[in-house]
Structure 1
């Protein structure tokens, strides 16, 4: 069997789908500020190098919960994902991620922390757009894939003044939330998935 063929055995295809699902669950957890959901992505003691935060993943989650508190909206989008197996239980995963977040004018400190200093016009809300990559060392232990070490590779960031709020919801519109009451969270609870 060739190396390429070994990357696509039925067992490896299952592993690929499990890893992909793990990355999608990370995005939902961070965007919904789901503490346990974020923790479930990492093995205990995993290290994350996330720019302003470098240390144990448990600390990363706490840092995100504090830093994101004033941020009303956050969307992480997964793009290209390359999974390379070093063995049956170890994979190197490079995942492109785009992030869109809106920072109220009161959150310029949180914005400056993530950009390395830039915060835009302090009198208006800001939208931040990023293009980054997660470089994850993933391990499968007792049949479960999780991140053992993550490096966030930051490729670019852009901040834009928000002069007009484009979303002005009418009665009955379903609006995304970050307080545990988002529609997906309530539906998961209703269906017994939470």
Structure 2
């Protein structure tokens, strides 16, 4: 595919849709939105996510269970290389950084995620990661979604929390992972949902 073809108006639209799907994944996983997570994948999609390898339905169940004890999670996407293998298939490599805070009782969840390290007993731990999503996107019935995902892990860092810096005052809006985050409330007010 020539550079002109790769950036034709139709391909620019495809690129924007793929970028939007990636942002939807981050929003859904950070809000623990089951339907939102599933919506970015095609039926029959698979994921190789380190500790979890298998169908995406199992991945979502694994995330929901593992994240129960995590009060805060942020997924940030950066560089995104989108190459079209054919009219309806794209190989997409996306840099992702995560920041998550784990309470002292979540040492098992940290160890599962790191391969063993979990921080000092009794301490809150902030986990920072740098990874890449390697996704095979497919357009089926006009919809771009992920057909296969591989998580490439580059590094992880654990920081023991010495001071809980956020001391909210009355009226501050705090992030929630129970379906009642302010972003979810506003989206519902305007009739927006997780549909890709």
CA distance in 1, matches of 2:140, 2:86: 12
CA RMSD of aligned residues (A): 0.7
CA distance in 1, matches of 2:41, 2:94: 15
TM-score by length of 1: 0.98
- Pairing 1:66-85 to 2, within 5 Å after superposition: 66-85=65-84
CA distance in 2, matches of 1:68, 1:106: 12
- Pairing 1:21-32 to 2, within 5 Å after superposition: 21-32=20-31
Residue 38 of structure 2 corresponds to 39
- Pairing 1:159-174 to 2, within 5 Å after superposition: 159-174=158-173
Matched, 1:138 2:137: yes
Q: Secondary structure at the match of 1:68?
A: helix
Q: What does the per-residue CA deviation read over 1:86-114, in whole Å, with 9 as the maximum and x for residues that have no partner? A: 11100000000000000000000000000
Residue 147 of structure 1 corresponds to 146
Residue 54 of structure 1, CA deviation: 0.2
Q: What does the per-residue CA deviation read over 1:7-47, in whole Å, with 9 as the maximum and x for residues that have no partner? A: 00111000000000000000000000000000001111111
Q: Is there any run of 5+ residues in structure 1 with no aligned partner, and where?
A: none
CA distance in 1, matches of 2:112, 2:47: 17
Residue 120 of structure 1 corresponds to 119
Residue 47 of structure 2 corresponds to 48
Q: Which runs of 4+ in 1 moved over 6 A?
A: none
TM-score by length of 2: 0.97
State the structure with bigger RCO (CA 8 A, min sep 6), 1 or 2: 2
Residue 107 of structure 2 corresponds to 108
